[in-house]
Structures are given as structure tokens and as C-alpha cells.
Structure 1
Amino acid sequence: MDLAHSPQDEAFRQEVRDWLRTELSGDFAGIRGRGGSGSEHEAYEERLAWDRHMAAHGWTCIGWPEEHGGRGLSLTQQVIFHEEYARADGPARVNHLGEELLGPTLIAFGTQEQKDRFLPKIRAVEELWCQGYSEPGAGSDLAAVSTRARLERATEPGRPDQWVIDGQKVWTSLAHLADWCFVVARTEPGSTRHAGLSYLLVPMRQDGVDVRPINQLTGTSEFNEVFFDGARTDASLVVGTPGDGWKVAMATLGFERGVSTLGQQIGFARELETVVTLARHTGAIDDPAIQDRITRAHMGLEVIRLNALRMLAGSQGPEASIAKLLWGTWHRNLGELAMEVAGASSLTVQDAPYELDAFQRLFLFSRADTIYGGSNEIQRNIIAERVLGLPK
């Protein structure tokens, strides 16, 4: 990727900067920086209103092709937008799973009817989505999915055939807020592993769907267990060919490693600077070992950024696992560094019953960074086998 931006790109950067400066004020001034990792419960309704405000002004789905309701912005301009959004301390988005994951998947694999039905609602932030992948026995090993769906033929004229879904999903982020879920389910009896899976679009607000929150170390409940007990969705709401859902599901994971990760790194840099400020305050900055770890953190962040740019300039193949491995490990290490520079005060909560400060939330939530979205062990296996060609 050419790191030099054209005059048009710099003009676009100024446009984004000016719009965010103007709009993240007044009614929306209080949501700057709200809703991040470990604070997902913060100002949800206000952040939802902000996402819809962005949609009304053409700032959602900016990388989607224009024919699908997006702005068709270049890769460089998408990176610029996410960087400036992070620099402006924009609040955590509530529509990430629909905009960044399902939308591109439907554009690539969906029928015209599916695109017409769902893409406008995603762009306008009128319907929210969650991801039904992991299960108690199929977390990092997604091919072990056991949730099943059978096709039931309609018995009355004019009524559609339907998939009937039974099973359990876990670690389902935002399921308690979502209207729909994209679910990987086994639709071919007797099939195993990657074969016989289908990618279904399932409404969440129906009998047969039970969402139960999972309490996290941070005291919040961003993700959930989801139980399907005879839940239904129309037969037409399978993305791609029935039985070929593995390919679609892997494409969705590829989109997860998209341009928004560049904005994520701006947020990481801000967190690192707060840790450095804390180290100066506590005196830990005078410790040569702490100085070394801070220096390595700065170097690591630059490596993450350059690797992400390299990935975006090329194909989104198995090499994308490098990015997840890098940033997940880096962020976990930053949380550990924050606790060390905070000293003894890091061991006590700020208020009863369990009020944490920002550094404690960083430490506790970042423990999960090396697990969700594919654990470090799985990423290393993918890199070894599919990139380096090593034996299993």
C-alpha cells in the first residue's frame, strides 16, 4: 500500500475531521469515548441514536458499493475515516456486526432478494445483528458445530417452507439487543466437519429463541448464550448454497479483519499514552524494565499498523491470522503493563460493589482478546499450516 495520500485523500480527511468535530458536540458531546471494551453497557440508547445520525448523513457503510447504498469509498479513504473517527474519540458503534460483517457477506454471496431486504435496514441502522458461530463444543473449532436445522415443507398454500433450528450458541455478542442473527447450522443429517453446514439468517424476536447473558470479569454482559428450540426462518434465508455454509462463514471472518482495524489501533495508541501518563504519575517510568516494556509496546503498535496496511493491500487470505495474533497479544500485554505501573492501587475496586477504573477494565477485558475471534492457538495453526505449509 502506498502510504502517501493524494490531495483528494487529504481533503477527504479534513471533511471527516470537520464533520466529527461539529457533530460530536451538543446532544452527542457526552458520548465521546463511551461504550468501549468492558463498558459496553454505557449510553446504549444515545450511541444507537448517534449511529442513526451518522446514517442520515451518509457516514455508515462507506465502503459498500454505491449500488448497495454505500459510498463506494476507496480503501485509503475508508482507512482515513476510521482513523479520524478514533482520533475524535467517537463512541463504540452498535451496528458493527451488520455493517462490517453481514453486509459485505450478503453483497458477495446473497441473492438479490436478500440484498434488497436487509442491506437498506443495515445501512440505516434500523435492524441490528449478532453472530451465531461458537458453541459449547465448537468454539475455536468451528467445524464441530452441532446446532441443526431441518427444512420443513409448508402444508398450507401461500406459506413458505421454513428451516427449523435447534441447538445452542455461546459468546454471542450483543444477542440481547439484536433483531437478527446469522447462524451457522448443520443442515445435512450425518454430515461432519466442514461439510453439510448452512449459513442462515434467523430472526431473534420469536418463540424458540432464548437469550441468557453471561457475566464477564468486568461485571458487564456484552455476550450471551443463545438457545434455539424450534426457532424458525424462511427457507429463502440461506446465504449461498445449502450445505456450503463453511465457505460463506469463512468469508465473513475475512471481512472481520477489515479497515476498521486501523481505527482500532488509534484507540490502542491512546490507551498506551494513558498508561505512560500513569507510569509518570506513579514513578514506575523510572524503572528500566518498565521503560523497556513501554518502548516495546510502541514498536509493537507500529508493527501492527504496518502489517494491517500490508494485509489490506493484498488478499484477505489465511495471512489475515497474523493481524489477529499480533493485536490480541499486544493488547493483553498492555493490560498487564497497566496493572504493573498502577501498583497496589490496581488491586482494589474504586467503589462498591464492583466499580472498576479504566485500567482495571483494560486488564480484565483484554484477557479475552487472545480468545475471541479465533484463539491465539488457532491463529498459529492457520499460519503454520496454510501460510507456511507446515504439517499438521
Structure 2
Amino acid sequence: MTAITWWQGTLAAALAQAAAQQQPLFLYWGAQWCPPCNRVKSEIFAHSAVQTLSRQMLCYQLDGDSHGAQALAAQLRLRSYPTLVLFAPDGSEITRLPCELDGERFAAALAQALAAHAAGSSAAQAMQAALSAGRALSVAEWNLLADYSWDTDEGALLGERALAPTLLALLGSGVAEVAAAAAMRLRLHALLAQASSPEQGADLLLAVCADEAVARANMDILNNYGIELIKLCARRETVAAALRDRAALWAQDFWLAAPDKLAAARLQLRMARLLAPSAGLQEVAREQVAAALDAASDGYQLHTLVNTAVSLLNEAGLGADAEYLLQSHLPNSHTPFYFMLSLAGSARRRGDTAAALDWYQHAYETAVGAATRIQWGVTYLSQLMEQASADGARIAQARQALLADLATAGADAQYQRNHAQLQKLARWPQLGF
């Protein structure tokens, strides 16, 4: 099976071609430096089942650093990297898909989205039918809503609705009687949206962890939001122990990809620390990191593995190990400036302000891409204002460099992620941004 074929040209031309061919259009919005984006490339786009499904669609990559990308993203309601959207041939959205799913689960979610479209439905139509009680939803439609990427919605599906009451309304629409697996996932989303009581949350997480199939189907939520979920539950020690034990199994699962195993190892460590902090966890963390890095299959996967490994090592109190890992991977990284921000953070935690500012500066000076340079420039300038406000010459130099980047970006500097970054400088009106 060959790799996914990505449309070359403008998005407008891609949408026109999709309409002409009467094919859905799959949109990937991301950036070269983004660890979740790199995971998507190595785990989802490289999966044979996803590649097979891609033949039913026209596929388009929208890089956040490309010319006019941020303005276009504002029109399409794209913000977080990565965002994965499936459009109908008429340009309307079928659904938004979670980037945290593994390849197998993502293929299943994409297949059900394509099937729903073929049957004349979409996430918006399914939600409207459920909320209005206009008709009964099929199992496929409930699965479409359960696998919707609420994190990257940006109002595309919700509109002006708040997430928590919307999820509660969906759960009250009979989903449990029709699609038990979809109901469980929607309940997890509702818990994260703080729409459940602490006792309900505890019961839910214990039930999820007790069922291997259910836990596996929701591994993305548990791995990425385990700490947040625990904070919303009663009986935290009991729930943390159940989540720790489930994560420990995933961390050693031969069939899981290295990024998911390492994310599970991090979850295992976090739960173990909540229960009984122990120095013995450090050696386990080192072993898990070494095994994951040895299993890296390509540069994209290695990038996300190093990022997760650094987080895991810091959680284990191994800051020096984390810094060494970052330093050792700078020469071969395709976006070393991303890891330089982590090195700056490590220096800050050590209280070494000078080293931190040097890393922030080096990261900015080596950053590549219009939107990326604005983000890194704002970060560097903000740190100078916070940590070295008396260094007028250095601040002036950083300000001028950022102004040059804004000029290069042109009108795109006023949209989406660029605009959000510049808003961070509003604390210092003297800078004139």
C-alpha cells in the first residue's frame, strides 16, 4: 500500500475538485514542530487501513506556516494543531476527528464517518436529531458523535452551545439503550467538561478500567487526560489505582505503538505518584524511555517520543536526564527549536535565568515558518519582559526582530494563532503591539 496522496495546490482548488468528483475532502491542519502532529503522521497517516480509506477521499494538508494559512484557518474555524476535518463534497463539515486515537481506532472512526456521509448524515445532523428528538439515531450516528473531536470544535458543531449541557442532553437522548460504547465515551467527555458529580465520575472510571475492551476504546482520553479525570472524581485513591493498573498493562503491550506505550507509562507514573511516591519509579521511568526510543520507527515518531519522554522524566524527578535527552536530540531533530523551549523551561526550573533566556533567544533565532516565528518571537519577548525588564537593548532587538516577522507575515499576522500570540503582549503596552 502506498502512502496517502495529498492534493497539491490551493484549498479552494481542492474543494472544487472534491465537488467535481463528488468525494469527501479530508483536511489536516498542523505544523512541522508540533509533537501531536508528528504522532499523527507516524501513527495515523502511516496506518494501512487509513491509507486504504484515503482512496475514498481527496486529502489536503494545510500547514500553519504556509502563506495565508492563518486567515484561511479563521474562516474554517481551525486553531489547535492538529485539527482533522472531513468535509462533504458541498463543503459542509461531516465531522472533526480526534488526533489522539491510534491508527486502528482512527481508521474505524474515519470509516464510520464516511459511512454516515454515504447514508446522508453528519455530526451536525445527528446532533440536531438527538437534541430535538426528531428521529432515532443509528448506532453509527451515535458513534460519530462519541468520536467527535470536541477539543478542536471551535464552535463548528456546537455553535453557541456550551459543551457540558450539550453532552448531558445527548446522554439523555437514549444513547445508552442504542449504543453502549458511544454512551460510555460521551460520559467520559461529560466528566471532563465537569458535567458529572465526583461519585458519578468515580463509578464511571472504575467501570471503564474494569473492562479491557472499553478501556482500550478510550485509551486516548485516559492517557491524555488521566490527571484531569482523577481530580474530578471521589475515591481518588481507588480510582487512581485502577487507572495505574490499566496503564501498566498498556505500557507493556507489544501491539501498541511506541508513543502510546510511552504515554501509558507516563500515566502509570502519575497515578503511582498520587498513591505512594517512590524513588524506585525513577529507574522504571528510565527503562521505559530507553525502550520507547529504541523502538522509534521514523523521525516523526522520534520527535513525539522525545517530547513525551521529557515529560515522563520530569514527572519522575529526573530533570537532568530530561535535559540530556533534549540536548542529545537537537542535532538530528527536524525542528530543534521546539526542543530548545523545553531546555529553556528546564533552566527556569533550576533558577538559571540567564541560560533560560539564551535558550529562548536561540529557539527564536533558529525557528522556521511565518506563524512559528511569530509564536517563538512572542515567547522570547515575553520572557525578556518578565525576567530581564532592565535589559533595554536586548528587548529592543527582540522587538525589532518580531516586527520584521510580522511584516513578512503581512495580513496573516492578524488572524487565528498569530493574533492570539500577539494578544499576549498586551500586558506591556509600551512595546507597541
The structure with the greater share of residues assigned to helix is: 2
> Do the two structures share a fold, i.e. TM-score over 0.5?
no
Give TM-score, length-normalised by structure 1. Answer: 0.28
The structure with the greater share of residues assigned to strand is: 1
